[in-house]
Structure 1
Amino acid sequence: MSPDRSGRKQAKEEGSAARRLLARSHAGSAYAAGEAILEVRDLVKHFPLTQGIVFKRQVGAVKAVDGVSFDLRQGETLGIVGESGCGKSTVAKLVTHLEEPTSGTIRYKGEDITKLSGRALKAVRRNIQMVFQDPYTSLNPRMTVGDIIGEPFDIHPEVAPKGDRRGKVRELLDVVGLNPEYINRYPHQFSGGQRQRIGIARGLALRPEIIVADEPVSALDVSVQAQVINLMSRLQDEFGLSYIFIAHDLSVVRHISDRVGVMYLGKIVEIGTEEEIYEHPTHPYTQALLSAVPVPDPEAEAVRERIVLEGDVPSPANPPSGCHFRTRCWKAQHRCVVEEPLLIVPENFARSTPQEAVHHPSACHFAAERTAVLPRSTD
């Protein structure tokens, strides 16, 4: 086949894929609340380690994401928590196609977006937007707020004709709680919370179905965090959004999330509803994380048990065999060295009913409930 014919065939395929995705995005009735709109399976991202200057050779790989699977349902918020360096932000970049996965699939409404390019990928990006962690460096300091929020309309002109764009930008500023008259100001003229609102407005511009929020409140004061979280909750109800909310603050994630996934060294080690994870954790790492959360009750704080993990987090370039958490786990046995635990309902909870809080996936051979992780008030 000639290069011209090959190029035309690829363009035709991309165009048909783009039309399918756009048609599905407008067929909202096909994906009612509770149905999976995004399916991630066995997602892997390895960054190669090389030696040499002229003749480079790969000597290893940083396993940033090492087999992550989850579903995001229509209208829900999935929180992802874990220590710094566990792979949370890499998952966000993979879902939004800012990074190419090493392997695995990401299905948006049944279409594997990891294999898309050109117009088909552009159609997906219209429906999966991102809010970045730093509300200052994610905004171009040389552009006005109007240009920043209106830039998506230049890339997707079908969303807003040129004559309507300024009015839509003003409308978006009003939606996120900013004065529409600020349209000609620059990012340095706003506070941190206001800049994050601008980032959220930019993410909303194309009316996406999914927003990936990568630690959107970690750089803000506590009082401002609450304002931004409440804003995101309100926008979710108004626009029917689905969120992937990434953070390391467990209390923030609990406030906004319907389900929570706990990551450790490139893997999700436990996933379940907010109640299942916070009130009935079964994985040792989740229990250790929750035991470090301050409790606003001096009496309860004085009597509760604190789990102190020994050692450092292993390098993602050379993770332990078997269970990645075994080098810091007080339950570790020989089985943990030779056999990697699967993210399934543990064997000892297999007889529990799905309605019971312990009946949720946990990647541990010896999963068990541990009391006094988050004790209630004693009065």
Structure 2
Amino acid sequence: MAEPILEVCGLVKHYPLTRGVLFKKQVGSVKAVDGVDFTLAAGETLGIVGESGCGKSTVARLLCNLERPTAGEIRYRGEDITKLSGRALKAVRRNIQMVFQDPYTSLNPRMTVGDIIGEPYEIHPEAAPKGDRRRRVQELLDVVGLNPEYVNRYPHQFSGGQRQRIGIARGLALRPEIIVADEPVSALDVSVQAQVINLMERLQREFELSYVFIAHDLSIVRHISDRVGVMYLGRIVETGTDEQIYEYATHPYTQALLSAVPVPDPEAREHRRRIILTGDVPSPTNIPSGCRFRTRCFKARERCALEVPALEVPPVFRCTPGPAAHDSACLFASTEPV
């Protein structure tokens, strides 16, 4: 594996819950992200999947320094960016850009497409001379598959897929090394999703980009990702290559997610095992003791309430190298057909 350009260690983000008006008192906290670790290599795509509310979008905002973490480190090329500010932080932000989920609300409706894509050059004037910016913007529009003459149009004059292409062009303006894509295709039609995913794959090759691709659609994540991390209630519970996660899942939560993916073949659908989880997702203000998935797990035992499972290769697979030998935060990890 190539040298990582991004390392996340023990990332934590807690939002305080307060009571009172004049004299506010903290009575608890929402543990949106509660200890996330992963690495990202140059030219790699890391997919992060999980159900709504598991903390995926919070991780995206923390990586781009749009929010400050409560604890933990985010190292970009060996430097902890959580401790940076001022010019140093501004220089790092040039290399880590974000593509947002909603292609309409992420664009200013009062600005033209040319102004939206060219705005990064106003913040980082050293990236492009002032007289050359319009040409740069037109080149970016052409790169993402839009007519360069659209520079004077407004966001409401475009479809959803075209707006997301504008958002991608804005993210590419400063030639970053890393793009954090927070569910970039979830608001688009299926046919448009395929076009945007193919565009992102082409841009990754042309611009030598690394992606952190966040989504809840498992099929899309498998198509574009080199490695996949599965999140549940603020933590990554399983991580590995796409083959390891999709063919040899060992964590019961990952197995339940895979069993819920629709299968177009009626015969295959009849012969697969459907795992239905019981209960609701616990509140992030009151996380269960031990394994946080134990309240819904079909493998849960008494030991699960006492021990916090580490994200590591399960002991049962350590002596047998193979696709099942990947990190999984489960005390009773096993491969089961789904």
Deviation at 1:352, TM superposition (A): 2.0
Shift of 1:34: 2.1
Indicate if the aligned counterparts of 1:89 and 1:246 stay in contact, CA closer than 8 A: yes
Q: CA deviation at 1:48?
A: 0.3
Equivalent of residue 179 in structure 1, options 142, 147, 164? 147
The aligned amino acid for 2:89 is: L
| Residue 106 (structure 1) aligned with residue 74 (structure 2) | yes
Counterpart code for 1:357: P
Q: Is residue 2:332 matched to residue 1:366?
A: yes
* Among 56, 62, 69, the residue aligned to 1:88: 56
Structure 1 residue 308 corresponds to structure 2 residue 273: no
Quote the Cα distance in structure 1 between the aligned partners of 2:289 and 2:311: 16
Deviation at 1:296, TM superposition (A): 2.1
Aligned residues: 338
Q: Alignment identity in percent?
A: 78
Shift of 1:335: 1.4
Unpaired segments ≥5 residues, structure 1:
1-32, 374-379
Matched, 1:282 2:250: yes
| SS of match in other structure, 2:125 | coil
- Paired residues of 1:211 and 1:243 also in contact (CA < 8 A): yes
Query: In the alignment, is residue 148 of structure 1 matched against residue 116 of structure 2?
Result: yes
Contact 1:47 1:62 in 2 (8 A): yes
Deviation at 1:134, TM superposition (A): 0.2
> 2: distance between equivalents of 1:274 and 1:42?
23
The yes-or-no answer on 1:170 pairing with 2:146 is no
Q: In the TM superposition, what are the counterparts of 1:33-112 in structure 2 within 5 Å?
A: 34-112=2-80
Q: Tell me, in whole angstroms, the C-alpha distance in 1 between the residues paired with 2:299 and 2:248.
A: 18
How far apart are 1:132 and its partner, in Å?
A: 0.1
1:327 and 2:295 correspond: yes
Amino acid at match of 1:232: M
Deviation at 1:302, TM superposition (A): 1.1
Q: What SS is found at the alignment partner of 1:328? A: coil
Write out per-residue CA displacement over residues 144-164 of structure 1, whole angstroms, 9 at most, x where no aligned residue: 000000000000000101000
Kept in 2, the 8 Å contact 1:34–1:76? The answer is: no
Secondary structure (helix, strand or coil) at the match of 2:211 reads strand
Spell out structure 1 runs of 4+ moving beyond 6 A.
Answer: none
2: distance between equivalents of 1:262 and 1:213?
16
- Give the distance between the partners of 2:145 and 2:285, measured in 1 at CA: 44
Q: Name the structure 2 match of 1:238.
A: 206
Please name the residue that 2:323 is paired with: 357
Residue number in structure 2 paired with 1:265: 233
CA distance in 2, matches of 1:257, 1:60: 36
- Give the partner amino acid of 2:326: H
Q: Please give the alpha-carbon distance, in whole angstroms, between the structure 2 residues aligned to 1:327 and 1:182.
A: 53
Q: Give 2:260's aligned residue.
A: 292
1:249 to 217, 220, 233: 217
SS in structure 2 opposite 1:248? Answer: coil
Give the TM-score taking structure 2 as reference length.
0.99
CA RMSD of aligned residues (A): 0.6
Give the aligned residue type for 1:258: D
- Secondary structure of 2:181's match? strand
Secondary structure, in 3 states, of the residue corresponding to 2:127? Answer: coil
